[in-house]
Structure 1
Amino acid sequence: MRAIVHENLDGIEGLKVKEVHEPGLKQNEVKVLVKTAGMNRRDVAVVEKRHKGEDPALIPGSDASGIVVETGDQVTRFTIGDEVVINPGLGWIENSEAPPRGFEIVGLPDDGTFAEYYACSEEHLETKPEHLNFEEAGVLSLAALTAYRALFTRGKLQKDQTVMLPGIGSGVLIFALKFAKAIGARVVVTSRSGTKREKALELGADVAIETNSDWKESLSGESIDLLLESIGEATFQKSLEVIRKGGTIVTFGATTNDEVKINIREFFYGQYNLLGSTMGSAEEFKAMLHFITQHNIKPELDRTFTLDQHIEAFEYVRNSRNFGKIGFLINE
């Protein structure tokens, strides 16, 4: 089968398309013919942090949709021909405060979805929502699950609250925007890009401000109940300044420096909540799929690439050119 493989050279330059063996199948596993494989910023981070002199060849990729083409003897949930989506979280089945020991994400350390076939245990597959085509379903899972847990499990967003999404444009934040509007919450977004601010308003955002502006001034004193922080050092202090006393920041990433400084006295006097969040359990994955079906929510699909356009795709995401999700069309 053809696959995007990372080996020999550091960074994006180490990617190439080559013929590799199809994955084998254990008794509890399902083999999926991949139709579309979604790309995430994590995929860029994976190939940029590996050292090819030490690490074995790897097929990256965490998201995919496709058709079941083979099942192991012990598989009971799926049959050949079923249309499915892959849960990118491995080893986290039941809801819990944090991932259990052994939790991993598809695409590192084991091979991922940027290939013509992918195999996994049946408990890490779900039926494709009927209202989504393969392209939409293939770019859904990681970003939508991350947004769902950050907003609802960790952030406990309610319909009468205001949520702020700094740096709108990523797949996670656009899902968060759509999820929040689906329950009737007020949404504030920021972006350095005027085009992205306009697109966010078209999707239902109530307020869109420039990321480099004075947020307190731009919001005219409006306080924020919940803020999803994924930028890190560059915006963290500004985030604290606009959260209402007793409000919550949920962080799930850092596109700028990981380390931040806070005035701890101001923090505890403000009674703020700072919560971490990562992906979600299989139970949350099922709940998220039910939620998007109930509210007829679809991913914002920016564009698609072929496997042979892999370098262009990785550079596109690395340079944050996307508004929403991108994917690889593998078996059309």
Structure 2
Amino acid sequence: MTTQHTPNAAELLALARDVLNIEAQAIQAVAGRLDDSFIAAHQLMLGCQGRVVVAGMGKSGHVGRKLAATLASTGTPAFFMHPAEAAHGDLGMITADDIVLALSNSGESDELVTLLPAIKRKGARMIAMTGNPDSTLGQAADIHLNARVEKEACPLNLAPTASTTAALALGDALAVCLLEARGFGRDDFALSHPGGSLGRRLLVHVRDVMRQGDELPMVKQTASVRDALFEITRKGLGMTAVVDDHGKLQGIFTDGDLRRAMDRELDLKAVDIAQLMTRNPKTIAAHKLAAEAVQLMEQAKVYVVLVLDEGKLVGALRMHDLLRAGVV
């Protein structure tokens, strides 16, 4: 029976640093071994007419799931297949156009080795990522990627730690190189992540969130202050756009303009809105990204901008609308 030892703070920090150093060294070692096999794997996956089917058991399976998700979200169609389930019917998901990326540190995972004959008969190509090129998987694969590590970060050298980190990093290297080769850009990434903050920043345009139609406060430049205040109150944006007889934007009248007029002790009944409005208000085109509107508002220190489409006033956008849309 082992005696329990509770490490003190210094011992805990020392152990944590050892783990991080061992795993960092493992990644560096894999980087130093990169050769033509990596290029071949990259080219094979880049030219894949089907999908990349990632498979692995245990901790390698967890890494495989993450790798499949990374590939899929960066332009390489991929999914994870559990080897045990594959032996009971899921192997039907694989076609001759697919590429199987098999992960196993030992290269001798029984569940994966059992699948080799069926994968070969289906005509799918295979890339093996193992820590042993001479293993069954390493020898059976069309391409082998060496993810060998000298030791695990676990003090017992048993729990998969450095080996899974190395495999994960090597998989990420493949995914990023494929991303670059495909010319996968920010807009493509956003389309794969419509629910995330990046997706919202890159997919939501001003026209998608602006106030328009009956919600757009607007008066003519000959309107009275009373009419302008009524429009502001009715539309609830704290401002109104001011246009000429042809609908061309002339300015904006806000709560702030009203306060400044009152400070000047002007006779509000005797002046029209054109004398009180702010000329050359901040505007943005309807096709611009909503994120660009955020930047404009922050730089100009305004809470609302008017929206133009080919020079015509079509909407108004305030910071609250952008917050509600999740762009900010």
TM-score normalised to structure 1 length: 0.27
Q: Which has the larger radius of gyration?
A: 2
Structure number having the greater strand percentage: 1
Structure number having the greater helix percentage: 2
TM-score normalised to structure 2 length: 0.27
